Amino acid sequence: MKFQRRAAAIGLVAAGALLFSACGSDDNSAGGTAAQASGVTCGGKQALKASGSSAQANAVTGFVNTFEQTCNGQTVNYTASGSGAGRNDFIGNQTDFAGSDAALKADEAQKAQARCASPALNLPMVFGPIAIAYNVPGVTDLALDGATAAKIFNGQVATWNDPAVAALNPGKPLPAAPIVVNFRSDESGTTQNFQTYLNAASNNAYGKPSAQTFNGGVGAGARGSQGVTDATKNTPNSIGYIEASFAQKAQLPAAQIVNSGGGAPVALSAENVAKAIDSVQVTGQGNDLSLDLNSLYKTATPGAYPIALATYEIVCSKYADPQTGSAVKAFLQTALSQQAQGTLNAGGYVPIPDAFKQRLTTSINSIS
Predicted confidence (pLDDT) per residue in 46-74, tens digit: 999 999 998 899 899 999 999 999 999 99
Q: What is the pLDDT of residue 34?
A: 40
pLDDT of residue 38: 55
Cα–Cα distance list, 106 to 109, 274, 293, 306 (Å): 5, 28, 17, 26
**Domains (ranges, CATH) in the chain?**
129-271 (3.40.190.10)
CA atoms of 347 and 323, how far apart (whole Å): 31
pLDDT < 50: residue spans in the chain: 1-37
Query: Residue 54's pLDDT is what?
Result: 84
Strand partners, 222: 184
Query: What pLDDT, in 10s, does the model give residues 193-241?
Result: 999 999 999 999 999 999 989 999 999 999 989 999 999 999 999 999 9
Identity of residue 60 = V
pLDDT digits (tens, 9 = 90+) for 113-137: 999 999 999 999 999 999 999 999 9
Question: How many beta carbons lie within 10 A of that of residue 34, not counting itself?
Answer: 18
**265 neighbors 143 (Cβ within 8 angstroms):** yes
Vertex 103 angle, CA 99 and 106, to 5°: 130
Closest CA to 47 of 96, 88, 98: 96
Which burial class, exposed, middle or buried, applies to 273 when counting CB atoms under 10 A from its CB (0-12, 13-18, 19+)? Answer: buried
The pTM is what? Answer: 0.81
